[in-house]
A and B are shown apart, each in its own frame.
Chain A
Amino acid sequence: MGVKMQGHHHLVAVSLNEQQLGIKRKYTSYIPRRNQSKYLALWIIAFGFVAMNVYKCIDAGHQERIEEGLVSMCDQRARMLQDRFRVSVNHVHALAVLVSTFHYYKNPSVIDQETFAEYTARTAFERPLLSGVAYAQRVMNSEREEFEKQHEGIIRTMAKEPSPHRDEYAPVIFAQETVSYLHLLDMMSGEEDRENILRARATGKAVLTSPFKLLGSNHLGVVLTFPVYKSKLPPKVSVRERIEATAGYLGGAFDVESLVENLLGQLAENQEIVVKVYDVTNPSNPLITYGRQTQEGDLSHTRVSMLDFGDPYRKHQMTCRYLRKAPISWTAFTTASLGYVIVLLAGYMFYTGAIHIVQVEDDFDTMQQLKVRAEAADVAKSQFLATVSHEIRTPMNGILGMLALLLDTELSSTQRDYAQTAQACGRALITLINEVLDRAKIEAGKLELESVPFDLRSILDDVLSLFSEKSRHKGIELAVLVSDKVPRIVMGDPGRFRQVITNLVGNSVKFTEHGHIFVQVHHAEHSEADAKSETFMNGISEGRAISRFRTLSGREAADDRNSWDTFKHLVGEDEYPFRAATAEKVDLLVSVEDTGIGIPIHAQELVFMPFMQADSSTSRHYGGTGIGLSISKCLVELMGGRISFVSRPKIGSTFFFTVAFNRSEKSTVSDLKKSLYEDLPNAFTGLKVTVVDSKPVRAAVTRYHLQRLGMVVKIVNSIQMAISMRFMLVLLFSLPSTLVELQQDRNERQPDLLLVEKDTWLSNEDTGNIRLSDHRPIGHTSNSPKMILLATNITSPEFDKAKATGFSDTVIMKPLRASMVAACLQQVLETGNQAKQGRLMAKGSLYLRSVLSGKKILVVDDNRVNRRVAAGALKKFGATVECADSGKTALALLHLPHTFDACFMDIQMPEMDGFEVTRRVRMMESNANQEPMSETMTIEGSAFTRTGEWHLPILAMTADVIHATFDECRKSGMDGYVSKPFEEETLYQAVAKFFESNPPSDRSFKTTTSKNGEP
């Protein structure tokens, strides 16, 4: 079964892992997971284009402005040139008019060479563009001789040679002085001039030659020619008539080069542009008029402006270029490049970001997988721990069992010692394993808390009894005190609560050599109300005078909140009205105070870590694994509380924890099984007790226990006080005139018992005890109070002395427990008439025998061998055993009414398993319980009479004692389980719960055994 279960667990774990690992990448990623560099390149290229476009856009505007500048400059120059030219042409025209007016219309002519030269020289400023003007007369060949004669010269050609014969000539007769070398040169002899002349006289307008090298200078120039007619011509004349009427030609040479040069020199920004002027009359062969023939300047920008020099035949144009290339537009460039750089950086940022994110995501995935694996490993570890612990426990139980058996045989003292040591070690190991198992369970989240009603006080008493031996041995005062305001029954997990308390007290006992260990339980809100704002820094001891600390043992404690000054508020009866009666929850503050070695400051933070002890040397000195506190912490947190501590090295530690229990409802309390809380005998109710104790805290503890027994308690400081009180009463009583009321008064006030603390008694020894015995009222011994000594430990001389002083034989040994006190008191009051029987029942097996003897028990198991063994075991302890080999038989036997006291049930049975049988039995019982009681059912000694209702204790017999099985046992209504095969101890534990409320004789055996070993 066990093996099967493990296999199952393993499968679960594996499938869990796969499931967890299967869930991959739950989020969606918006980041490309690969090829980020390609995306980056794409980005860079795309934005490269964008940047270029931006540059172009901005640069286009720039170029346009440059172009505009060029256009405006070029046009301006062209216009100016044209205007100047026109002005000059007009002047030449005016000269032509002058010549015609004064040379031809006047007869004789009033112009001769001198006049002309002078006039032209004086009006030269009007024609700054013209190097000079000259007038050539039209001379027909027939008139040549006459003309030559008249002018006393020969008509020469341009080459300054006598002109050959032509049809007509155009010799210069008047010339400005600057061109006087033209005198009598035949203008018709030059190719350009001739054409000019012919065109001029045909059109009657100014005409221009194409550019050519001017005579007398190397500059390019054009010749302007005006025709001069002999008479005024009507507006409409034919070309022929014009030619007929032509008298001569007035011409001037334009030095275009210097003209333009001159013009450009006057303008600003002359240096920036290259200007060229072309004659484009023949468009296929433009003739350069100004500027060099070579291409120069910035070819990217060219502006061509047309020039109109007044000759419709000739066409000119001006070409402007920038001399230097236009500078790059820095704005555009910087804008574009800066933008591009920014975009590049952004792209790079995205790129690195993406890579980083991808990496982080990958890391995250890895981490998640690792986490899942780690968690799986953790679960596996916990399961492994649980399994291994379980597996170790089984053989360990064998070892312990064998050791127990071994100890029962006759052994020599050495052997016994060895065996006992081995057993103690084994027990320690089992405890450790259980702790590890607990821890593993808590970690695996498998630990579930019960919520059952239980009595807090009896649990604390139990824990105390566990450590009483040890504390007595060490001479430590161990005490427990539960505030009266804490309800008697609370709902919670008693086992876990006990575990925490046991742990803390165990630690305290371990680490304390002197002083006390004091467990207190208070209502959380009450103690908080009192916890003053003062907070102790852990470990800082204040320079207080170490006089008397008003703590339990008088030694200083780490947290002085527990000293009497504050403590008295908590135990005080009336200061806090019991107000929390309505609240659902009971918040308790539990503190465990010790005066041990304390926790070193550096280790205080590690205290609750598993497997951490304050100091490695601690474990050498004191042993232990240090797992206890961490488990306690887990448990306390599971129970909805917090754990903390105050500790001062060498002074002590105080551990606190809060825990929230549910208040148990009244109805459930009445239904409580008897076993849940110890029944304290009520024989002592109303008994008056005076406690003599000089230490108030200790006295309060004593009072607490006595009050639980229903006694009326009075505390006095010293024996003297007690005596003086008694003495007065005695005096009063001895007077003959005492009234009856006084007698009654005495009865009320005379204590029945006098409990004296040993320390107090010893400190008052010389004065107190003698008188105490002296003043015993004579003749009233039966009424005189019994004196009982309270002690942590007592030596036999002290005991003898106490006896001599008048104390009773029984000394109540600390730590106090209500049940133990009750037993002692019973012994004292009844002078131990039952005490002898107690010795017989020291052992568990004997107890088992006493419990089981005469009981009728049903064993249900389909396996005959098992049945036989179980029956044998139970019979051995005196029970009457009946067997059933199947669930059905068992059901038949258990049909109500029956006489069985208990039933042991196998779980795995064919047909009907143990759970099913139990469920049916419970169903029958609940049916029967609902019916009105009939007399026939009251059968002596059956389960019925004990609880008042039918409830047969059913215990499961199972081979595996894992938690799940136990849960199922409880679910189906079973009361507990015993592991198969039977072992004495487990049987005892299981059975004890159900048969504890036996006849009172059994109880007193149990309670009085604790002091058997004492005097």
Chain B
Amino acid sequence: MERNQMQMHRQIATIRKSLFDQGYLDEQFVQLEELQDNSNPNFVEEVVTLFYRDSARFLYNLDQALEKRPLDFSRLDSLMHQFKGSSSSIGAKKVKIECTHFRDYCNARNTEGCKRTFQHVKKEYTTLKKKLEAYFQMSRQAGPIETACRPR
């Protein structure tokens, strides 16, 4: 059991590392992790869940806005700004990058580019969601990790 848990922790650490290595997450995620302590044990997961619940609304709104003709670029931009803010808060690096591209196209008033990058945004968003879900699932199974705490 002990051994199993150790292995699991190692596996979790590998997944986490790969998330960073593949550029899905950035240091902001680490900051979030830092905010997690005994008084607030599931902070990261809570925030991420909040993010996915919240952003679904944004994405829906964006979808709607993209259907309209002509495109209301300023609205798209402000929606995407919100979404990007959320993404950067949880450290979703790839999503954030795509958001930036989207906003670039928005500023350039490029309809095609907007649509295309929106698909990218959604793709990255979904991919990250899957990965994070798996990661949190595993973390929950493994239980709290003592080593994650910073030495005082």
Determine if A872 and B85 form an interchain contact, defined as CB atoms under 8 angstroms apart.
no
Interface set, chain A 1-46, CB cutoff 8 A to B: 1, 3-4, 7
User: With a CB–CB cut-off of 8 A, which chain A residues contact B103?
Assistant: 3-4
> Is A866 interfacial (CB 8 A cutoff)?
yes
Most B-side CB within 10 Å, residue of A3, A4, A865:
A865
Distance in angstroms between the alpha carbons of A872 and B151 in the assembled complex = 19
> Is B3 interfacial (CB 8 A cutoff)?
no
User: With a CB–CB cut-off of 8 A, which chain A residues contact B28?
Assistant: 981
> Is A862 interfacial (CB 8 A cutoff)?
yes
Determine if B50 and A863 form an interchain contact, defined as CB atoms under 8 angstroms apart.
no
Instruction: List the B residue with the shortest CB-CB distance to A401.
Output: B27
Residue B89 contacts which of A401, A408, A869 (CB distance < 8 angstroms)?
Answer: A869
> Is B46 interfacial (CB 8 A cutoff)?
yes
> Is A405 interfacial (CB 8 A cutoff)?
yes
The smallest beta-carbon distance between B43 and chain A, in angstroms, is 6
Determine if B51 and A876 form an interchain contact, defined as CB atoms under 8 angstroms apart.
no
> Is B32 interfacial (CB 8 A cutoff)?
yes
Instruction: List the A residue with the shortest CB-CB distance to B32.
Output: A869
The smallest beta-carbon distance between A864 and chain B, in angstroms, is 5
Determine if B35 and A3 form an interchain contact, defined as CB atoms under 8 angstroms apart.
no
Residue A869 contacts which of B27, B30, B47 (CB distance < 8 angstroms)?
Answer: B47
The smallest beta-carbon distance between B113 and chain A, in angstroms, is 14
Residue A3 contacts which of B47, B78, B107 (CB distance < 8 angstroms)?
Answer: B107
Determine if B89 and A872 form an interchain contact, defined as CB atoms under 8 angstroms apart.
no
User: With a CB–CB cut-off of 8 A, which chain A residues contact B86?
Assistant: 863-866
User: With a CB–CB cut-off of 8 A, which chain B residues contact A866?
Assistant: 85-86, 89
Interface set, chain B 53-108, CB cutoff 8 A to A: 54-55, 77-78, 81-82, 85-86, 88-91, 100, 103-104, 107
Residue A408 contacts which of B46, B47, B88, B150 (CB distance < 8 angstroms)?
Answer: B150
Determine if A7 and B107 form an interchain contact, defined as CB atoms under 8 angstroms apart.
yes
> Is A623 interfacial (CB 8 A cutoff)?
no
Determine if A863 and B89 form an interchain contact, defined as CB atoms under 8 angstroms apart.
yes
User: With a CB–CB cut-off of 8 A, which chain B residues contact A405?
Assistant: 30, 34, 150
Determine if A398 and B43 form an interchain contact, defined as CB atoms under 8 angstroms apart.
no
Distance in angstroms between the alpha carbons of A980 and B89 in the assembled complex = 8
Determine if A869 and B54 form an interchain contact, defined as CB atoms under 8 angstroms apart.
no
Determine if B89 and A876 form an interchain contact, defined as CB atoms under 8 angstroms apart.
no
The smallest beta-carbon distance between B37 and chain A, in angstroms, is 7
The smallest beta-carbon distance between A3 and chain B, in angstroms, is 6
Determine if A981 and B31 form an interchain contact, defined as CB atoms under 8 angstroms apart.
yes
Determine if A409 and B27 form an interchain contact, defined as CB atoms under 8 angstroms apart.
no
The proximity string for B residues 1-38 relative to A, scoring 1 for CB distances below 8 Å and 0 otherwise, is 00000000000000000000000001110111011010
> Is A982 interfacial (CB 8 A cutoff)?
yes
Determine if A873 and B35 form an interchain contact, defined as CB atoms under 8 angstroms apart.
yes
Query: Could you tell me the dominant secondary structure of chain A's interface residues?
Result: helix
Q: A7-B107, A869-B32 are in contact. Are A1 and B47 (CB under 8 A)?
A: no
Q: A3-B104, A401-B27, A410-B151 are in contact. Are A865 and B81 (CB under 8 A)?
A: no
The smallest beta-carbon distance between B58 and chain A, in angstroms, is 9
Distance in angstroms between the alpha carbons of A4 and B47 in the assembled complex = 28
Task: Count residues of chain A with CB under 8 A from any CB of chain B.
Answer: 29
Determine if B81 and A868 form an interchain contact, defined as CB atoms under 8 angstroms apart.
no
Distance in angstroms between the alpha carbons of A959 and B82 in the assembled complex = 12
Distance in angstroms between the alpha carbons of A824 and B27 in the assembled complex = 41
User: With a CB–CB cut-off of 8 A, which chain B residues contact A7?
Assistant: 104, 107
User: With a CB–CB cut-off of 8 A, which chain B residues contact A982?
Assistant: 31
Determine if A981 and B150 form an interchain contact, defined as CB atoms under 8 angstroms apart.
no
Residue B30 contacts which of A402, A863, A868, A876 (CB distance < 8 angstroms)?
Answer: A402
Residue A981 contacts which of B43, B55, B89 (CB distance < 8 angstroms)?
Answer: B89
Distance in angstroms between the alpha carbons of A890 and B55 in the assembled complex = 23
Interface set, chain A 401-460, CB cutoff 8 A to B: 401-402, 405, 408-410
Q: A402-B30, A959-B88, A981-B88 are in contact. Are A409 and B35 (CB under 8 A)?
A: no
Residue A865 contacts which of B43, B47, B107 (CB distance < 8 angstroms)?
Answer: B47
> Is A856 interfacial (CB 8 A cutoff)?
no
The smallest beta-carbon distance between A863 and chain B, in angstroms, is 5
> Is A144 interfacial (CB 8 A cutoff)?
no
Determine if A3 and B100 form an interchain contact, defined as CB atoms under 8 angstroms apart.
yes
Interface set, chain A 842-876, CB cutoff 8 A to B: 862-866, 868-869, 872-873, 875-876
Determine if B151 and A869 form an interchain contact, defined as CB atoms under 8 angstroms apart.
no
User: With a CB–CB cut-off of 8 A, which chain B residues contact A1010?
Assistant: none
The smallest beta-carbon distance between A190 and chain B, in angstroms, is 131
Instruction: List the A residue with the shortest CB-CB distance to B86.
Output: A865
User: With a CB–CB cut-off of 8 A, which chain B residues contact A872?
Assistant: 32, 35, 40, 43, 47
Residue A398 contacts which of B27, B35, B46, B85 (CB distance < 8 angstroms)?
Answer: B27
User: With a CB–CB cut-off of 8 A, which chain B residues contact A876?
Assistant: 34-35, 37, 40
> Is A908 interfacial (CB 8 A cutoff)?
yes
The smallest beta-carbon distance between B72 and chain A, in angstroms, is 14
The smallest beta-carbon distance between A1012 and chain B, in angstroms, is 18
The smallest beta-carbon distance between A201 and chain B, in angstroms, is 135
Instruction: List the A residue with the shortest CB-CB distance to B78.
Output: A910
Distance in angstroms between the alpha carbons of A959 and B55 in the assembled complex = 19
User: With a CB–CB cut-off of 8 A, which chain B residues contact A869?
Assistant: 31-32, 35, 47, 89-90
Instruction: List the B residue with the shortest CB-CB distance to A870.
Output: B89
User: With a CB–CB cut-off of 8 A, which chain B residues contact A983?
Assistant: 31
User: With a CB–CB cut-off of 8 A, which chain A residues contact B43?
Assistant: 872
User: With a CB–CB cut-off of 8 A, which chain A residues contact B54?
Assistant: 863-865
The proximity string for B residues 117-134 relative to A, scoring 1 for CB distances below 8 Å and 0 otherwise, is 000000000000000000
Residue A959 contacts which of B51, B77, B85, B91 (CB distance < 8 angstroms)?
Answer: B85
Distance in angstroms between the alpha carbons of A257 and B114 in the assembled complex = 126
Determine if A868 and B107 form an interchain contact, defined as CB atoms under 8 angstroms apart.
no
Determine if A865 and B50 form an interchain contact, defined as CB atoms under 8 angstroms apart.
yes
User: With a CB–CB cut-off of 8 A, which chain B residues contact A908?
Assistant: 78, 81, 85
The smallest beta-carbon distance between B25 and chain A, in angstroms, is 12
Q: A402-B30, A865-B50, A869-B32 are in contact. Are A408 and B151 (CB under 8 A)?
A: yes
Q: A3-B103, A398-B27, A910-B78 are in contact. Are A868 and B47 (CB under 8 A)?
A: yes
Determine if A980 and B85 form an interchain contact, defined as CB atoms under 8 angstroms apart.
yes
Instruction: List the A residue with the shortest CB-CB distance to B36.
Output: A872
Q: A7-B107, A910-B78, A982-B31 are in contact. Are A863 and B47 (CB under 8 A)?
A: no
Distance in angstroms between the alpha carbons of A990 and B53 in the assembled complex = 32
User: With a CB–CB cut-off of 8 A, which chain B residues contact A401?
Assistant: 27, 30-31
Determine if B150 and A409 form an interchain contact, defined as CB atoms under 8 angstroms apart.
yes
User: With a CB–CB cut-off of 8 A, which chain A residues contact B88?
Assistant: 959, 980-981
Residue B81 contacts which of A1, A409, A875 (CB distance < 8 angstroms)?
Answer: A1
The smallest beta-carbon distance between B12 and chain A, in angstroms, is 17
The smallest beta-carbon distance between A358 and chain B, in angstroms, is 45
User: With a CB–CB cut-off of 8 A, which chain B residues contact A910?
Assistant: 78
The smallest beta-carbon distance between A568 and chain B, in angstroms, is 53
The smallest beta-carbon distance between B65 and chain A, in angstroms, is 14
Instruction: List the B residue with the shortest CB-CB distance to A864.
Output: B54
Most B-side CB within 10 Å, residue of A409, A862, A866:
A866
Q: A869-B32, A875-B40 are in contact. Are A864 and B50 (CB under 8 A)?
A: yes
The proximity string for A residues 964-986 relative to B, scoring 1 for CB distances below 8 Å and 0 otherwise, is 00000000000000001111000
Distance in angstroms between the alpha carbons of A1 and B104 in the assembled complex = 10
Most B-side CB within 10 Å, residue of A908, A910, A980, A981:
A981
Distance in angstroms between the alpha carbons of A408 and B152 in the assembled complex = 8
Instruction: List the B residue with the shortest CB-CB distance to A872.
Output: B35
User: With a CB–CB cut-off of 8 A, which chain B residues contact A865?
Assistant: 47, 50-51, 54-55, 85-86, 89-90
Determine if B107 and A409 form an interchain contact, defined as CB atoms under 8 angstroms apart.
no
Distance in angstroms between the alpha carbons of A114 and B55 in the assembled complex = 171
Question: Can you pick out 17 interface pairs between chain A and chain B where the beta carbons lie within 8 Å of each other?
Answer: A3-B100, A3-B107, A409-B150, A409-B151, A410-B151, A862-B82, A865-B47, A865-B89, A866-B89, A868-B89, A869-B90, A872-B35, A872-B40, A875-B35, A876-B35, A908-B78, A910-B78
Q: Can you add 12 more A-B contacts, CB < 8 Å, to A408-B150, A980-B88?
A: A3-B103, A7-B104, A7-B107, A401-B31, A405-B34, A864-B50, A866-B86, A868-B50, A869-B35, A873-B35, A981-B89, A981-B91
Q: 8 closest A-B pairs (Cβ-Cβ)?
A: A865-B86, A872-B35, A865-B51, A869-B89, A865-B89, A866-B89, A981-B28, A398-B27
